[in-house]
Amino acid sequence: MKRLDFLMLEEQDTVPFNRMPITGYEEEQLIYALNLLKSPHSKEHLNRCQEWFEKELGCVRALLTPSCTHSLEMAALLLDIQEGDEVIMPSYTFVSTANAFVMRGARITFVDIRPDTMNIDETKIEAAINERTRAIVVMHYAGVACDMDAIMELAGKHKLIVIEDAAQSVMASWHGRPLGTIGAVGAISFHETKNLSSGGEGGLTIVNNPALIERAEIICEKGTNRKSFLNGEVDKYSWVDLGSSYLMNEISAAFLWAQITARDQIYASRMAIHDTYSKELRDLCTDGRIEVQSFPPGTSHNAHMFYIKLRDMSERNAMMRWLNSRGIKAPFHYHPLHSSQAGRKFGRFNGVDRYTTTESERLLRLPLFYKMNSNQVERVITAVKEFLL
């Protein structure tokens, strides 16, 4: 473990916003993976991780990918999103949520969010549906679930596909169901900024419909039936469909396996920091000085993020500068996609932007990462209070 210690070194004076989780189990797994790679075609870690997720999530197939962005692209291919289709999603999300579908020729219909969770407002979706609508893409912000009951019911009524961008939501759930397993396909991220990491970049495609398994395997094997060949079902493999290289490498999978092993300690550490923020900032909420995220009934979050909302953009920016002057890195988050250059080109906002823009302008994320120490948490809390008192 000694050789990884330099990664833990913290500059004394700054509190970073994020740190990739390093648990101490990674080195052993990486050395083991290196040895395995001496034998050709080893997929031991990949298979181990995929089987673990299939069991843990209770999904029909879990396929590790190079990133959540790739998983969303896979979903768009797998569900045959094409030119002329419209896809409904919130504007308050990451670019990949939209790009994956725009790349297949779809147009995006953005709808407003709910201010309490920053998630798509399920009551605004129906008005955005027309005869070209094919899919609803939800994004569970901060690992807090969208109202999946309302959304699945609406999708059923209008025969629409539901895709879950569960990038931030590993180990979070909706009425006990893991996020990413409720729609047809879900996508999770193991980017270094997420709760579990595969060493920098990585993702998971969650397939929930058994009818999609075979094609999902073909798409991530470059459009070939190589998987059937490796299973001995066909005697040679060939090009059968669209596809790309959507496979995670063994080194990343080994890193991820170490994190899976240490998931409880990562989760506990993040939860404790989240709880401390909630407790220590409660009075500021009661006094109406700030707002914090809320957790509607049925949601069980994963302490992915702790954000506060200030009065408006100018107060938010002043807080950000104040924290920065005290060595604390606290960033805002998404610029609404519908206002961006590409968003205007490839999509439109349906209905009134009542909350998307104004709420995103008020939001500030506080540092929260595995092994953030109590001094650092205290420093953030003190600085936030000093600014507001």
Ligand X SMILES: *Cc1c(COP(=O)(O)O)cnc(C)c1O
Q: Which of 22, 33, 57, 68 binds ligand X (CB under 6 A)?
A: 68
Here's the x/- map for ligand X, 27-66, by CB under 6 A: it reads as ----------------------------------------
Burial label for 313, CB within 10 Å (0-12, 13-18, 19+), is: middle
139 near ligand X, judged by CB under 6 A: yes
Pick the closer one to ligand X by CB: 199 or 223.
199
Give the three-state DSSP class for 161: strand
For ligand X, give the closer residue by CB, 67 or 293: 67
Q: Is 69 in the site for ligand X (CB under 6 A)?
A: yes
Kindly tell me which of 102 and 383 has the beta carbon lying closer to ligand X: 102
**Distance, CA of 269 to CA of 111 (rounded, Å):** 35
Question: Does position 97 bind ligand X by CB under 6 A?
Answer: yes
Q: How far is it, in rounded angstroms, from Cα 182 to Cα 27?
A: 35
How far apart are alpha carbons 243 and 194 in whole angstroms? 27
Closest CB to ligand X among residues 73, 315: 73
Q: Which of 96, 197, 252, 293 binds ligand X (CB under 6 A)?
A: 96
Q: Which of 172, 171, 155, 173 is nearest to 163 (CA)?
A: 155
Query: Within the chain, how many helices (H) and strands (E) appear?
Result: 15, 14
**Is residue 363 involved in binding ligand X (CB under 6 A)?**
no
Cβ closest to ligand X, residue 96 vs residue 356: 96
SS3 117: coil
165 binds ligand X (CB under 6 A): yes
Any bridge partners for residue 307, and if so which?
365
- Per CB under 6 A, does 135 bind ligand X? no
Contact between 199 and 225 under an 8 Å Cβ cutoff? The reply is no
Q: Which stretch binds ligand X (CB under 6 A): 75-83, 89-97, 143-151, 305-313?
A: 89-97
What beta strand segments (E) does 78-232 contain? 86-90, 107-111, 133-139, 161-165, 173-174, 177-178, 185-189, 203-207
* 249 contacts ligand X (rule: CB under 6 A): no
Binding window for ligand X (CB under 6 A); candidates: 1-9, 148-156, 164-172, 293-301? 164-172
| Cα–Cα distance, 265 to 273 (Å, whole number) | 12
Among 191, 270, 301, 309, binds ligand X (CB under 6 A): 191
Beta carbon of residue 256, minimum distance to ligand X (angstroms, whole number) = 12
The reply to whether 91 sits near ligand X by the rule CB under 6 A is no
Asked if 302 is part of the footprint of ligand X (rule: CB under 6 A), the reply reads no
**Is residue 93 a contact residue for ligand X (CB under 6 A)?**
yes
In terms of CB distance, is 246 or 349 closer to ligand X?
246
The answer to whether 336 contacts ligand X (rule: CB under 6 A) is: no
Phi and psi based region of residue 366 (left: phi greater than 0; alpha: psi -120 to 50; beta: remaining): beta
Nearest C-alpha neighbor of 268 from the set 359, 336, 195? 195
User: Residue with structure tokens 């609406």?
Assistant: 154
Q: Residue 304 CB, nearest distance to ligand X (Å)?
A: 9
Query: Is 94 a binder of ligand X (CB under 6 A)?
Result: yes
CA 57 to chain centre: 15
Which pair of structure tokens corresponds to residue 62?
Answer: 């879990």
- 366 binds ligand X per the rule CB under 6 A: no
Task: Rule CB under 6 A: say whether 357 interacts with ligand X.
Answer: no
Phi, psi for residue 88 in degrees, rounded to 5: -95, 135
The answer to whether the CB of 241 falls within 8 A of the CB of 226 is: no
Task: Tell me, by CB under 6 A, how many residues bind ligand X.
Answer: 14
Q: Could you list the residues that contact ligand X (CB under 6 A)?
A: 67-69, 93-94, 96-97, 139, 165, 167-168, 189, 191, 203
